[in-house]
Chain A
């Protein structure tokens, strides 16, 4: 089989079995990522964006299972691989960095040891050589005094420096795909900008495709070629970042865009927080999952769930826009 995309998800379904019932955390998600591209996945917590990433990596929590669909990467179907084969891909072809750099590094090992570890696991490199490589990587991701820093333990690093170390760890084996799950959420605003800048530079210099998961639309705007908006485990809108931002075709995206302050807004637009509460994943409403909170909802929305269909330049899962109505009318 030959695939045209670097990564392709086909109808992936991931379930979480909890004490009170089973949650469809990822419900029929299909997406593609091409080499060198940056894809943003946006949604509130619980929307399934992190679970989608963990499904790609096959690093789901104990309660999680991929129950349907498949994940294809290069010429392989990741969902069919054995655990051993999957370990070969993690940390070599696909790397992942996580939200909280404070807890994502092991407190009892030196940072250089941890950053160089993928090289020892996958490239059978000696300890000394792997730490020398870590020094180079620290330099590349902008950690000052790398020779001294590799010998330090994580608690001696600031949050921003830890996230740089995490990124360095992801880059050790020059992966073709980097998944960054909320990489800046736990950081100060100024540090956030630096980390995003770093990710952008790396994407440009190394051609590493990136999936950037965030709840922050501002981050997506500056970073991503394309964007996917998720709600209640489903993709509700998908398209080129410029298009989605210019004219959202799903009310949820529209609401997100109207709930954040924009410095470049030329009129005094009132901020509109999204009404209602995030959906109860154990008790999803019939029909469109966003319908209870939707300012545009019509009768049909509560009865039948829309498909993800082409609406002008992008894909959207909404009866209203599929019928031709424009949200910013």
Chain B
């Protein structure tokens, strides 16, 4: 818990936090990191394999092969999500499945599936980007800030 959050608590509450904390199992961080590294690495290796496949057998070069590669990974991720076992893999893999593009596809597909019961417009349409929305918003915003910084640097004569 952050020190700022802790300050708001009364001494009794703080005392209890320590009491409870001593009895809680901690997240197995090292184990989680190793798993994330393995699964994330495997997904990226599959991606690399796909890229070579598109470059060797189809008319793609290193720059353009990215698009069909991502499309295939997204398709696999959505397929696994809708068959109901992506979340089980993710519980084991953690950041390993969340960070690559597969995780992003999973946020959208899972939200769409979940809210189908409220109809296609308000349910699926309205909730599909519930989890992915923040990524898009802050992704676009960060890109904008970085672009402005780049423009300013260029105007000042560049690096």
State whether these chains interact: no
Interface residues of B (CB under 8 A from A): none
